[in-house]
């Protein structure tokens, strides 16, 4: 597709359930990023991949958060044993690769934990 | 802790006026600076990138960068009601790919 595609757009889960969020980057984009955006705030960095290598996971808030990109294209962000504070919009972005390239965002997944 | 600061607004301007949005950042080694527009309930949309001191113009938008003052701004000329959105300033941390975002400035353009 032309842009970054994320699914599902909305996800409601009960506290304690595991969730998986998918991101399909722009074709040819080497770099892929996950961000978390709380209401009224700017996106906050979670993790970064270059191809299949996870180069930075410093923003993952706890060991319940796990991300992978096994073939260097589609990425999945998994959250285990969800908590209410995990409720947020999860944004995926991709870029051509290399430093300083602009990042292009998908529509995000709005996660609500009940 | 690297920070990006923006006035939360709302910044209210009349249609046809110039809107001026400002951003300061703390990381002196940052090399790339971006402005994103975000409509309510939508994802951030890249509108400007700037890498060197001075001005960069693209249509009605002008980005200004002053690395000595650690300051970046966005000017929107001939503001339209469709420009009403939250504008996010983003700065790369440590010269690498990780972006640090400000909380955004809400712009309201009234007819």
From CA A107, how far away is CA B71, in angstroms rounded? 29
Is it the case that residue B33 has pLDDT exceeding 60? yes
A106 touches chain B (CB under 8 A): yes
Give the tokens for residue A39. Answer: 């209401």
- pLDDT tens-digit series, residues A1-53: 589 999 999 999 999 999 999 999 999 999 999 999 999 999 999 999 999 99
From CA A106, how far away is CA B3, in angstroms rounded? 24
Q: Between A and B, how many residue pairs show a Cβ–Cβ distance under 8 A?
A: 65
- pLDDT tens-digit series, residues B54-96: 999 999 999 999 999 999 999 999 999 999 999 999 999 876 7
Where residue B5 falls among pLDDT bands split at 50, 70, 90? Answer: very high
CA distance A99 to chain B (A): 6
């Amino acid at each position: 597709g032309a842009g970054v595609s994320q699914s599902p757009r909305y996800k409601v889960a009960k506290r304690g359930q595991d969730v998986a969020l998918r991101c399909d980057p722009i074709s040819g984009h080497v770099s892929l990023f996950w961000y978390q955006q709380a209401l009224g705030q700017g996106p906050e960095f979670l993790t970064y991949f270059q191809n299949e290598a996870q180069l930075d996971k410093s923003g993952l808030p706890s060991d319940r958060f796990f991300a992978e990109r096994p073939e260097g294209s589609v990425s999945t962000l998994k959250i285990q044993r969800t908590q209410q504070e995990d409720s947020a919009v999860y944004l995926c972005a991709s870029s051509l690769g290399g430093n300083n390239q602009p990042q292009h965002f998908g529509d995000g997944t709005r996660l609500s934990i009940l | 802790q690297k920070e990006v600061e923006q006035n939360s607004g709302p910044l209210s301007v009349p249609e046809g006026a110039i809107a001026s949005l400002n951003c300061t950042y703390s990381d002196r080694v940052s090399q790339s600076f971006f402005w994103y527009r975000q409509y309510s309930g939508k994802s951030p949309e890249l509108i400007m990138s700037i890498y060197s001191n001075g001005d960069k113009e693209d249509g009605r938008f002008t980005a200004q960068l002053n690395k000595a003052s650690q300051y970046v701004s966005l000017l929107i000329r001939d503001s339209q009601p469709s420009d009403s959105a939250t504008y996010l300033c983003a700065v790369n941390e440590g010269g690498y790919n990780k972006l640090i975002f400000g909380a955004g400035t809400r712009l309201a353009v009234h007819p």
